Amino acid sequence: MSKNKIRKILLIVSVIIAASVIYCYRFKAANQKIKNPRILNYKLGETVKMNDDILLSYTMKGYSIKVKKTDVLNYKEYLKKYRLKDKYTEVPDKVYDVKVEIENYNADKGTGINLAEFYIQKSSVIAGIDVNLLGEVNKNLKGQTAIALRKNSKIQINIPFDLYKYSFNDSTWKNIKNYDMKFVVTLYPTKKVVDLR
């Protein structure tokens, strides 16, 4: 191999290493400026005001949510509870049924809530909304997941979260009704969660 080729290879490797070092430095510097969110825990039945906090995409300022009731049912029991037909091919093993009351106590016109952004979690497990079942049990939503309420009005919604056996170890799955899941209301700058047990 000629000296020129070796010099070109060394130059390319040096540039790649320098670029990597600069990237890592900028990445670390940017992440040091971001604060971890403060976490507020609420109990079942407590009203949680969203304020300036966001969940995934935008603020829900002027809205509040109250988790009123929860239940964990296997899929067939859930269908029976709400008198639904089994018409889907991909179904969860169980459903975490969460009844909430959402209120617009002072939201600006055009501000609303995207129900599909809500989820429940516990350490390494996250369960999202079953959008199909959400529409089935809440006919008043007419298939919509994004809602806006008139000022000083409320709505009660049953939110179904999918639970799959493969996400849990066997002992947890057997006692899933006692598993301490949390309903995530907002993420940043304050993470607000409701303890579901």
Give pLDDT tens digits for 152-196: 999 999 999 999 999 999 999 999 988 889 999 998 889 999 999
Do 87 and 113 share a domain, yes or no?
yes
Specify the pLDDT at position 30. Answer: 67
Do 102 and 163 share a domain, yes or no?
yes
Is pLDDT at 2 greater than 80 in this prediction?
no
Do 133 and 156 share a domain, yes or no?
yes
Specify the pLDDT at position 45. Answer: 96
Calculate mean pLDDT across residues 18-47: 82
Do 158 and 127 share a domain, yes or no?
yes
Do 12 and 68 share a domain, yes or no?
no
Q: How far apart are the first and last CA of the chain?
A: 70
Res. 1 pLDDT band, cuts 50 70 90 = low
Do 48 and 20 share a domain, yes or no?
no
Total domain count for the chain? 2
State how far the Cα of 113 lies from the Cα of 130, in Å rounded to an integer. 16
Do 85 and 20 share a domain, yes or no?
no
Do 102 and 190 share a domain, yes or no?
yes
Calculate mean pLDDT across residues 97-106: 95
Res. 24 pLDDT band, cuts 50 70 90 = confident
Find out whether 163 and 95 touch, Cβ atoms under 8 Å. Answer: yes
Specify the pLDDT at position 31. Answer: 65
3-state class percentages of the chain: helix first, strand second, coil last, to nearest 5 = 30, 35, 35
**By mean pLDDT, which of 9-23, 61-75, 91-105, 121-135 is the weakest?**
9-23
Q: Structure tokens of 76?
A: 């067939």
Do 83 and 102 share a domain, yes or no?
yes
Do 156 and 86 share a domain, yes or no?
yes
Range of the domain at 133: 38-195
Calculate mean pLDDT across residues 97-116: 91
Do 112 and 163 share a domain, yes or no?
yes
CATH code for the domain of 110: 2.60.40.1240
Specify the pLDDT at position 35. Answer: 74
What are the backbone dihedrals phi and psi of residue 64, each rounded to the nearest 5 degrees, phi first? -135, 160
